Amino acid sequence: MNKLWLMDKMRGVAIRATPEEKIRQKLLHVLIEELFFPKEHVIVEKALSELPHLKGKRVPKRRLDILCYFPSHDQLLPLLLIECKKSGGGQQALNQVSGYNYWVGAPFVAIANQECILLKYLDIASNEMVIKEGLPSYQDLIACCR
C-alpha cells in the first residue's frame, strides 16, 4: 500500500489513510496482537442499527469506530466501545463516546488519539466514574464483568 491507502485487515479492504484511520488500524493491531481480543469479537465502523444486539430497535443514525464483545452464556455482550480521534480527546470526546454508549451498553468506553488512550468505566466499589490511561487485556476486562 502507498501512503494514501492502508490495508484494513479486519475488513479485508484498502481504505484511505486518514489520521483517524491510522489510529484505528494501529489500535486494532494492539487490541488483537498485544491485548488478545479475539478478532471475531471486534466490530469496526458499524452503524448502531447494524449491531447484533440492537437489530430491530429504533436507534439514532450514528456510526461507531470499534466495539468489542465478550461471550456470556449463549450470547455476545458489549464490552468495550472505542472512539478514535485524530487529535484531542478530552471531555468532549468522552461525552461523545458516552452518548453512543447510551445505546450500546458497554461497561467500558475509551477514546484513542495519537498520544494516548483514555478508558472510562464505573467503579462498582466506589460507585464513581474512573478515567485511566491505557487499556487492560481482554481477559482483565472480562474478569471485571463476571
4 domain residue, yes or no: no
Phi and psi of 62, rounded to 5°?
A: -130, 155
Q: What is the mean pLDDT of residues 115-120?
A: 92
126 domain residue, yes or no: yes
13 domain residue, yes or no: no
Residues 6+ apart with CB under 8 A from 70: 41, 76, 77, 79, 138, 141, 142, 145
pTM: 0.92
Residue 51 and residue 17: Cα distance in Å, rounded? 25
Stated length of the chain: 146
9 domain residue, yes or no: no
Please state which of the ranges 38-42, 55-59, 84-88, 128-132 shows the lowest mean pLDDT.
84-88
2 domain residue, yes or no: no
- Domain span including residue 110: 18-144
84 domain residue, yes or no: yes
CATH, residue 70: 3.90.1570.30
Residue 126 and residue 27: Cα distance in Å, rounded? 30
Q: What is the mean pLDDT of residues 68-86?
A: 94
Residue 38 has pLDDT above 80, yes or no: yes
11 domain residue, yes or no: no
Count structural domains, the chain.
Answer: 1
Binned at pLDDT 50, 70 and 90, residue 86 comes out as confident
46 domain residue, yes or no: yes
Binned at pLDDT 50, 70 and 90, residue 16 comes out as very high
pLDDT in tens, 43-66: 999 999 999 899 889 999 999 999
